[in-house]
Amino acid sequence: MHGKCTAPATTPAPTPQPGHSFPLGATPHQGGVNFSIFARRCTRVELCLFDHVDDARPARVVDLAPHRHRNYHYWHAFLPGVAPGQLYGWRVHGPFEPAAGLRFDPDKLLLDPYARCIARPAGRDRDAAARPGDNAAVAIKGVVVDVGAYDWGDDQPPRRPFTKTVIYEMHVGAFTRHPNSGVAEHRRGTFAGLIEKIPYLADLGVSAVELLPVFAFDEQAAPAGRRNVWGYQPLAFFAPHPAYASCADAPGVLDEFRDMVKALHRAGIEVILDVVYNHTAEGGHDGPTLSWRGLANDTYYLLDADRSRYADYSGCGNTLNANESVVRRMILDSLRYWVSEMHVDGFRFDLASILARDQQGQPLARPPILWDIESDPVLSNVKLIAEAWDAAGLYQVGHFAGDSWTEWNGRFRDDARAFLRGEGGRVGALAARLVGSPDVFAHEQREAEQSINFVTCHDGFTLNDLVSYDAKHNEANGEDNRDGANDNRSWNCGAEGPSDDAQVEALRNRQVKNFLALTLLAVGTPMLLMGDEVRRTQRGNNNAYCIDDETIWFDWSLLTRHADVHRFVKRLIALRMARELPLERAEMTLNELLGRQPLEWHGVRLQAPDWGHDSHSLALTVPLAAHRLRLHLMVNAYWEPLVFELPPPGVPQGAWRRCLDTALAPPQDLCPWAEAATVDGATYAVQPRSLAVLIARATEGGP
């Protein structure tokens, strides 16, 4: 007798238990996983479990009962039998009343803001989250992971003080994406690829890498047909960006990031993350509902007077309500996580002045979130760097809240650029930038290294382009060259773009070295942009956030083409770290020496600095009596040679040695002190648009 063919019986899923509201996110425990999420003013919450990232329907839906699975506005459940690797998302029901600030949409699968890893479907569609209808098949899902399942071994953070820090700002993807990087194809543009290039960073001499955003970000938040590459469109504040891993599985993404941190630490290099806590990838009122908007829109965001619209101080369509208690907790939890579980050494806060705004958008004298961050015991030993402005015009450089924050010094960038391109009225400003910008920071009674000195960063021209273009060339971005800054204070040295003119090229090379020398010799904390040490170009694009090709990739052939500039940077960092100076105490750096000594200002004549509008020259003498040394710097931004009077060496039997002169051909442009030529006479001719450094020691050839 033949019976009907039936499907095998399935074992019913264990009954969900109430679980706990803390910790937020998905937390594995023995026998299951606890899920918790904050959702305010909603009526119903569903936890959706998926078998595959591309599934349009969840394999299981857990309907959370308010009387059993909610405390305050926290919805939670413990699911027996669920394990790491599980894909999940949330559906939240409630009123869709934009005029009241409410945007609940149960058709949208929401990403857990506390997800430690994410999974992206092959057909992921950002726009589907902005259109009516179910988007589960093309939505990003969270992945349950056990963050404790990693062996850190004997990893120790370098804990390097700012006085001994040289920062290298870099993009993880662009650093090794070029085919000539020497990195295997599947590891190009990944954390693993960066690991292979750590010897290069160590040889260069930098002590910290500042990584453009590595939190998971929305690559589709870009003009049509392009990708967001820089990463300033965050999707999750706890999850590393999956495209930066050479492996596909979720735990592997975490492990690869931590492998990178551990390897950098072994090389003595700190890891600073560029973090974006000022806005999210959900954009403006017509943007997608990805996470926060569908959970508690009026809690997570600053809303405009018309509550259907968002206050936009970020220039990206929305602004996080950073000083609201729940958002403050999320930011702090995220920072603690990256320090405690991922071992990072510091953070650079994008548009940090937004974090100083209250719920009406007004600047606060004592912003709670900023004081929370710097007073938190977990964060007390990490580097905190603020980009102390925002897109709505709030500029707080020198006035940023808190005691332990350092700040990107935009005035260093602007004044150095203006002076070296020959603008008038800039000599006094340059003098202040060289000695730690006391006009900006001294009133706060902080150390000079509070100033992060830079002339280029990811946002704007590269150093090569700063001396090669008078105007931006952003046509490739698809916005008719309207995007990007118009005020670049650049100068093309006589020809727009690439040039075969030997004189133009020589001048550009000299200007590049001038900028590098000012950045690395000035008192403060220097920051270099990835590739400036080999004159990397972006072809005049000063806003290449949506370009992912050789325009932004590090071209490793430039190590040969511009070997002289690369060597110059290495030697400059060595000079700054005083590795080859005849010091009495070798642990002192040039930054520490210059920042603690009386200064003598000069012009082309001794004791007669010219602070006038038409002055383009400056000289500075620093006596280092405790080390029997004397340093003399001369800067000539004029278009003709200038003869500078020299002060006496100031030490018995001493003589000046020329350690640096950007007008000279390598290797004479920058020499170790022991190999530097002696300077005879009472004057020194500094060539047009160049600078020179002389150093004298008490007894030539002495111990």
State the residue for tokens 């008719």: 480
CA quadruple 256, 258, 264, 269: dihedral positive or negative?
positive
- Asked if pLDDT for residue 5 goes beyond 70, the answer is no
- The CATH number of 162-283+313-576 is 3.20.20.80
Rounded to the nearest integer, the mean pLDDT of the chain is 94
Rounded Cα–Cα distance for residues 145 and 117 (Å): 7
Confidence at residue 444, expressed as pLDDT on a 0 to 100 scale: 64
CB 308 within 8 A of CB 325: no
* Helix or strand holding residue 274 (H, E): strand 270-275
pLDDT, tens digit, 9 for 90 and up, residues 318-333: 999 999 999 999 999 9
Work out the pLDDT band at 650, boundaries 50, 70, 90.
confident
Closest CA to 522 of 633, 615, 421: 633
**Domain limits, the chain:** 162-283+313-576, 598-697
Residue 1 pLDDT > 70: no
How would you classify residue 340: left for phi > 0, otherwise alpha for psi between -120 and 50, otherwise beta? alpha
pLDDT digits (tens, 9 = 90+) for 61-91: 999 999 999 999 999 999 999 999 999 999 9
Percent of the chain predicted with pLDDT > 70 = 95
- Residue 694: predicted pLDDT: 96
Q: How confident is the model at residue 644 (pLDDT cuts 50, 70, 90)?
A: very high
At what angle are helices 368-375 and 325-340 packed, to 10 degrees?
A: 30
Q: Does position 7 have pLDDT exceeding 70, yes or no? A: no
581 pLDDT above the threshold of 90: no
Q: To the nearest whole percent, how much of the chain has pLDDT over 90?
A: 88
pLDDT band of 540, cuts 50, 70, 90: very high
> Rounded CA gap, 103 and 291, in Å?
11
**Nearest residue to 474 (alpha-carbon basis) of 455, 463, 461, 457:** 461
- pLDDT at residue 151 above 80? yes
Pairing verdict, β 642-645 and 683-686: antiparallel
Q: How far apart are CA 508 and CA 666, in angstroms?
A: 15
Residue 488 DSSP SS3: coil
Q: Is the pLDDT of residue 248 over 90?
A: no
Banded pLDDT at 678 (limits 50, 70, 90): very high
Give the confidence band of 585 by pLDDT, cuts at 50, 70, 90. low
**309 has a pLDDT exceeding 60:** yes
- Residue 640 buriedness (CB in 10 A; 0-12 / 13-18 / 19+): exposed
User: Using an 8 Å Cβ cutoff, are 357 and 364 in contact?
Assistant: yes
- Does residue 230 or residue 578 have the better pLDDT? 230
Residue 609 has pLDDT above 80, yes or no: yes
pTM of the prediction? 0.96
Q: Kind of pairing, strands 167-170 and 208-211? A: parallel
Q: What pLDDT shows up at residue 701?
A: 46
Strand, helix or coil for residue 678: strand
Phi, psi of 188, rounded to the nearest 5 degrees: -65, 135
Q: What is the mean pLDDT of residues 339-346?
A: 98
**DSSP assignment of 27-87:** EEETTEEEEEEE--S-SEEEEEEESSTT-SS-SEEEEE-HHHHEETTEEEEEEET--TT-E
Q: What angle do CA 149, 137, 10 make, to 5 degrees?
A: 70
The model's pLDDT over 430-488, given as tens digits with 9 standing for 90+, comes to 999 999 999 998 776 677 889 999 999 999 999 999 999 999 999 999 999 999 999 99
Among the options 255, 274, 282, 387, which is catalytic? 387
Total length of the chain: 703
A 10 A CB-CB count for 284 gives: 11
Considering the domain 598-697 in this protein, what is its CATH number?
2.60.40.1180
Q: Which of 255, 274, 350, 548 is catalytic?
A: 350
> With bands split at pLDDT 50, 70 and 90, how would you rate the model's confidence at 592?
confident
Residue 387 catalytic? yes
Residue 12: what pLDDT? 67
Q: What is the pLDDT of residues 27-49, one digit of tens each?
A: 999 999 999 999 999 999 999 99
| Amino acid at residue number 109 | L
The answer on pLDDT for 112 being more than 80 is yes
Q: Are 645 and 633 in contact (CB under 8 A)?
A: no
Adjacent-strand bridge partners of 92: 45
